[in-house]
Amino acid sequence: MFRFLIFTLFSINAALAQAAPLRIEIKNGVIEPLPFAAPTFVAENSAANDLAQDLVNVVSQDLVGTGLFRQIPQSAFISTVTSFASPIQYADWKAINAQALLTGAVGTDGKTVTVKFRVYDVFANQELGAGLKFSGSQDGWRRIAHKVADVVYSRITGESGYFDSRVVYVAESGNKGQRRKRLAIMDYDGANVKYLTGSDDIVLAPRFSPTGDRVLYTSYETGHPRIYVMDVGSATRRVLQNAPGTMSFAPRFAPDGNTIVYSLEQGGNTDIHLMNLASGQSRRLTNDASIETAPSFSPDGSQIVFESDRSGSQQLYIMSADGGAAKRISFGDGRYGTPVWSPRGDMIAFTKQSKGRFHIGVMRTDGSEERLLTASFLDEGPTWSPNGRVIMFTRETQGVTGAANLYSVDISGRNLKPVPTASGGSDPAWSPLGK
């Protein structure tokens, strides 16, 4: 009787049952560049032949330069792309382990360039998003290439790119004791350098506005440090703070672009002030006998991180954008300075001096998870890429022949490399992503 009952129930159950899936957990993966294939774009007319190759080269350099991608050489390709409309032979690209594929077509009439492109997830046998088309002046073909790279980067990583961006910095030339410094602006990859000031006066610490159309900087034109704001397009400028007997420096825009925060030295004491650009009215945010400087807003504009030696050594603090009590966030060995809030809002980059070496590091906004990314004789002045993924900074070498140059590093600590500049450079500031 029992057996009959069990048999009956099992028969019913077997008919309804779904086998439980095999469940496993993977915690260990690999960190390596993602291989991609970028065949030369199809030239839609003979005038676009060279441009088709140049465009692909710039896009590939952008992607490879992140350290997150590896380009598969064209000599390894099995398939050729002769038409932008041709179906993709996924098997041929899988065979060479291309995980992503970029195809495109370029046309030009001598004045205007049109670029069409598609991105494919090879192993998923599908296109990543829809194809796009950019058009622009022939002179701006590099910017079009950067925009294509931004889209490809975004489609694959899920995050915005940073290739269509610029960097303002202090171009340095001459011997160490007689350096000539002038403001310069360039594409993020070192191309298209333009100088904004002459080399007669010392200039320091340029900072982009949130829209990228203006630059704040400090100049010793009057013999004392003064803050200026310059319109990038017209290179016109005006001084913002010129009170006698004072020194103003370390300016930075608030996220609204209408307010700046800066340091003002008055009577031997340095505190942080806020200034409305339209009215020119300033307000003191700190009032301590110690030195408070290097303020940087959080992306939402609600808080300010700055450095202070109020505890006896140079450390990082966070206070409300309205001032008031500050909370110390750095507690490691050594001295911390030049904090900069990440565009993502989750990290703060800083310079650290410890045991005779300088480091560029990052930490959470509460001071946790401090991670040192670099170490050298002198590293300082970090600036974030618009997507909060890369940090650019100044590295100066030791000795009388030592020179200052720009370097960049991924926030994981990988992909440390120099940024190409025509001469030496220091004090970089990354612009927001181009519109």
Partner 1 sequence: MHIGHYISGGAHAGLIFWALFGGMFAPEPLPMEVVTVSVITSAEFDAITAAYQPPSIDMAAQDLTQTPTTETAPILETAKDETVSSVIPPARPEQTVEITKPQPVEPLETPQVEPAIPDQPAPPQEVTPDLPVTRPNAVPRPADRVAPEPVAPPKEDAAIDEQVQDSVALADAGQKTDQPEQEATAPEAATTEIVTEAKKEPPSGAPKTSPRPRQRPAEPQVEKTDPAPPETQKSDPSSVQDALAQAMAGTTSEPSGPPMTQGETDAFRISVQKCWVVDVGSEAANVTVTVGMSLDRDGMVDGGSLKLISSTGGSDRAANTAFNAARRAILRCQKDGYKLPVDKYDHWRDIEITFNPEEMRAR
Binding site for partner 1 (CB under 8 A): 2-3, 5-6, 9-10, 12-14, 16-34, 68, 94, 97, 99, 121, 123-125, 157-159, 344, 357, 359, 361, 371-376, 389, 409-414, 416
CB of 308 to partner 1, least distance (A): 24
**What burial class does residue 357 get, using C-beta atoms within 10 Å of its C-beta: 0-12 exposed, 13-18 middle, 19+ buried?**
middle
Confirm if 356 and 391 have CB atoms less than 8 A apart: no
CB of 102 to partner 1, least distance (A): 16
Segment holding 60, helix H or strand E? helix 49-65
Confirm if 411 and 347 have CB atoms less than 8 A apart: yes
Characterize the bridge pairing of strands 34-37 and 69-71: parallel
- Backbone φ, ψ for residue 276 (5° rounding): -85, 120
Comparison of 2 and 278: residue with beta carbon closer to partner 1: 2
CB of 315 to partner 1, least distance (A): 19
Confirm if 34 and 68 have CB atoms less than 8 A apart: yes
Comparison of 52 and 102: residue with beta carbon closer to partner 1: 102
Comparison of 246 and 365: residue with beta carbon closer to partner 1: 365
Could you give the angle at the alpha carbon of 146 between the alpha carbons of 143 and 149, nearest 5°?
A: 155
Segment holding 148, helix H or strand E? helix 141-157
- Using CA atoms, how far apart are residues 157 and 121, in angstroms rounded to an integer? 12
SS (H, E, C) 195-258: ECCCCCCCEEEEEECCCCCEEEEEECCCCCCEEEEEECCCCCEEECCCCCCEEEEEEEECCCCC
Segment holding 135, helix H or strand E? strand 132-137
What residues have CB less than 8 Å from 38, skipping those under 6 apart?
56, 59, 60, 63, 71, 101, 102
Confirm if 8 and 15 have CB atoms less than 8 A apart: no
CB of 261 to partner 1, least distance (A): 28
CB of 233 to partner 1, least distance (A): 33
Comparison of 67 and 295: residue with beta carbon closer to partner 1: 67
Comparison of 264 and 373: residue with beta carbon closer to partner 1: 373
CB of 148 to partner 1, least distance (A): 20
CB of 274 to partner 1, least distance (A): 31
Comparison of 252 and 359: residue with beta carbon closer to partner 1: 359
CB of 425 to partner 1, least distance (A): 19
For residue 124, the SS3 value is: coil
Comparison of 17 and 85: residue with beta carbon closer to partner 1: 17
CB of 104 to partner 1, least distance (A): 21
Comparison of 141 and 393: residue with beta carbon closer to partner 1: 393
Q: Which two tokens stand for residue 49?
A: 């032949």
